[in-house]
Each structure stands twice: as structure tokens, then as C-alpha cells.
């Protein structure tokens, strides 16, 4: 069980990247969904023990992560958002080296482990090639291999599928879901489908705050009967927002604009009810947070 309690982080330049985050995570895959700059990587770095939060506590089972980050590291697999510079050494050599650093010092078991991981992530055929020459997808699969060294109990992967083509993305997600049954996996993403496909629990983070959490099913329930769809000309959109209609998302479809609206009752015009999907939950949350914040900013400027 991973438990964050009131975790805040303010960078030295004053950016409040994380504000009073509290979460409890049981084994299984947990999706952390949020836009660019929301604080996902900051939260994840705090959980890895690599960054000490300004305040709050983080525990993983009986480990106090802030007091004993080295204890956490022994059971942690981490794939950072920027997995750094790739040396011109082969996949096999690099993985073997990383395994030594992780404390797998005995040769025989290490060889078995490294070979097993390279097969698991489907890099066995290219194990003698330099990681520096790998494609984006191959690098991410190498990244997950290194995160799986020595059977970690907590796996943190920061936007692992960004930049992968659909086939690589599926392959990566399959790999991750295979390992997630008995360990805590935290996956950050701004791709809603990754969460739909993989996660039994999730949180939405905006502006450093966790604004929603629960199972995707629970969060969908919050919107039941309140999402409406219409297809309009782009020029009508402005009238719609001026009329106070709460547009949560717009998308071009065959040159027309499909709008999704959040409303307790059927909005005026040609709207039809829509079974919400997780993208509606995400956009409705972002819209409501942005409205709150602009109201907050406006009242502050008045005061």
C-alpha cells in the first residue's frame, strides 16, 4: 500500500507544483491523468524519494519514503519521463550494468534475469545493438525492462506511451498490465485511453491539486445523464458559450464541430443525450477547474 498524506511541493522559484496531495494506492494499476504542467512528474519524483517534498508524508508499506529513500529504492522500479542519454553500449550490457547497480551481484542469477527481461520486452533479437540507436518504442521497452529489474514492488512510469505509435503503445500497455497484478503501478499520462485500457483506479491532477479520484467507473457515474452532444458550424460555438452553455469539449468531425456539453437538463438547440466516456470526465474536470480558478483570480483582483 502506498499512502501519500498532504504532500506539497514548491520549487525554489516559487512554483507550487503540488498542493496537499493525498492518495492511497493498493496493488494494481493506478492512472494519474493531467495536462502538461499539472504536477504529475513532481508527484512521481517525490514518491521515488528522488525529490523531497516541501511538506507531507509518503509511506510505502512500512517504509517512510522521506526518511529512508534508500529503503524504497531497493523495491522501486522507475521509468522517468526523460530517460536521459543513452550510451553507445548494447542493450544487454546496459541492462546488466543497471542490474549490478540495483544490487544483483551474483553472475548466474543476473544473467538469467537480464535474458528473461530482454525476452519479456521483446528486445532479445536486438540485445547486441546499441541502445543509442533504438527507435522511441524500443527505448521505452528498454526503459520498462530496467524498471522491472529485481522484481520491484512499486513501479512508477512517467508518461511511458507519449510518442509511441499505436502498435508500440499497445505492446507497452500489455507488458505493463502483465506485471501489475501483485505490485503497485503508477502510470502518468495525458492520454485518456491509456487509463481506460489499463487502470482500475485513477486520479485527475490539475494545477498541482488532485481534483478527482476513484475508479473510472465511479467517475463516469458522476456524469451520467448530464452530457449532451450536438454538431454545429464552428461559427455557432461562440454564441453557445456566450449563452452560458457549458461546453466541455469540441472536436472537428468531417469539417463540422462536434460539441459536448455538461448540463443538468437538455440544452436549447439540437442536443442529444450521450453516455459519457472518460474523456468527458477529464474535460469536464479541466473545464470546471479552469472556471473555478478564473473566478478565484477575478475575485482576487477585485479585492
Ligand X SMILES: Nc1ncnc2c1ncn2[C@@H]1O[C@H](COP(=O)(O)OP(=O)(O)OP(=O)(O)O)[C@@H](O)[C@H]1O
Question: Within a 10 A sphere around the Cβ of 10, how many other Cβ atoms?
Answer: 16
User: Min. distance of Cβ 301 from ligand X in angstroms?
Assistant: 21
Binding partner at 15 among Mg ion, ligand X, none, C-beta below 5 to 8 Å by kind: ligand X
| Distance separating alpha carbons of residues 61 and 44, to the nearest angstrom | 17
Site for Mg ion in 72-91 (CB under 5 A): 81
C-alpha cell, 303? 479585492
State how beta strands 2-10 and 256-262 pair.
unpaired
C-alpha cell, 61? 508499506
Question: Within a 10 A sphere around the Cβ of 240, how many other Cβ atoms?
Answer: 20
Site residues, ligand X (CB under 6 A)? 11, 13, 15, 17, 34, 36-42, 81, 190
Q: Spell out, one character per residue from 13 to 42, where the chain touches Mg ion: x when CB under 5 A holds, - when not.
A: ---------------------------xx-
| Distance separating alpha carbons of residues 226 and 231, to the nearest angstrom | 17
Binding partner at 241 among ligand X, Mg ion, none, C-beta below 5 to 8 Å by kind: none
Binding partner at 268 among ligand X, Mg ion, none, C-beta below 5 to 8 Å by kind: none
User: Min. distance of Cβ 157 from ligand X in angstroms?
Assistant: 13
Helix (H, G, I), strand (E, B) or coil at 255: coil
Verify binding: residue 246, Mg ion, rule CB under 5 A.
no
Of all helices (H) and strands (E), which one includes residue 41? helix 40-48
User: Min. distance of Cβ 226 from ligand X in angstroms?
Assistant: 27
Beta-bridge partners for 213:
203
Measuring CA to CA, how many Å separate 206 from each of 19, 86, 210?
10, 32, 7
User: Min. distance of Cβ 41 from ligand X in angstroms?
Assistant: 3
Q: Which ranges of 206-268 would DSSP assign to H, the alpha helix?
A: 216-223, 236-242
Binding partner at 36 among Mg ion, ligand X, none, C-beta below 5 to 8 Å by kind: ligand X
**Total residues binding Mg ion (CB under 5 A):** 3
Binding partner at 301 among ligand X, Mg ion, none, C-beta below 5 to 8 Å by kind: none
Q: Which is nearer to ligand X, 15 or 266 (CB)?
A: 15
Verify binding: residue 10, Mg ion, rule CB under 5 A.
no
User: Min. distance of Cβ 205 from ligand X in angstroms?
Assistant: 7
Query: Cell numbers 521509468 label which residue?
Result: 79
User: Min. distance of Cβ 294 from ligand X in angstroms?
Assistant: 17
Amino acid at each position: 500500500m502506498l499512502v501519500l498524506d498532504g504532500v506539497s511541493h514548491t520549487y525554489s522559484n516559487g512554483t507550487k507544483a503540488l498542493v496537499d496531495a493525498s492518495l492511497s494506492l493498493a496493488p494494481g494499476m493506478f492512472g494519474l491523468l493531467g495536462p502538461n504542467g499539472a504536477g504529475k512528474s513532481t508527484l512521481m519524483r517525490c514518491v521515488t524519494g528522488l525529490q523531497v517534498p516541501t511538506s507531507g508524508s509518503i509511506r510505502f508499506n512500512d517504509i517512510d519514503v522521506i526518511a529512508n529513500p534508500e529503503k524504497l529504492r531497493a523495491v522501486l522500479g522507475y521509468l522517468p519521463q526523460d530517460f536521459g542519454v543513452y550510451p553507445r553500449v548494447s542493450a544487454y550490457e546496459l541492462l546488466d550494468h543497471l542490474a549490478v547497480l540495483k544490487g544483483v551481484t551474483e553472475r548466474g542469477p543476473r544473467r538469467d534475469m537480464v535474458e528473461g527481461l530482454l525476452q519479456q520486452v521483446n528486445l532479445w533479437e536486438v540485445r547486441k545493438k546499441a541502445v543509442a540507436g533504438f527507435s522511441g518504442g524500443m527505448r521505452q521497452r528498454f526503459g520498462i525492462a530496467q524498471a522491472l529489474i529485481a522484481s520491484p514492488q512499486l513501479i512508477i512510469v512517467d508518461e511511458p506511451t507519449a510518442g509511441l505509435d499505436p502498435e508500440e503503445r499497445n505492446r507497452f500497455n500489455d507488458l505493463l498490465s502483465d506485471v501489475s497484478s501483485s505490485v503497485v503501478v503508477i502510470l502518468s499520462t495525458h492520454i485518456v485511453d491509456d487509463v481506460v485500457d489499463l487502470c482500475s483506479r485513477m486520479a485527475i491532477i490539475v494545477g498541482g491539486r488532485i481534483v478527482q479520484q476513484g475508479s473510472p467507473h465511479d467517475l463516469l457515474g458522476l456524469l451520467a445523464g448530464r452530457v449532451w452532444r450536438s454538431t454545429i458550424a464552428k461559427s455557432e460555438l461562440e454564441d453557445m458559450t456566450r449563452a452560458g452553455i457549458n461546453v466541455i469539449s469540441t472536436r472537428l468531425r468531417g469539417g463540422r464541430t462536434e460539441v459536448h456539453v455538461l448540463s443538468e437538463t437538455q440544452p436549447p438547440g439540437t442536443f442529444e443525450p450521450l453516455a459519457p466516456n472518460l474523456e468527458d470526465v477529464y474535460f469536464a474536470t479541466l473545464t470546471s477547474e479552469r472556471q473555478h480558478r478564473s473566478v478565484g483570480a477575478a475575485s482576487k483582483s477585485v479585492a
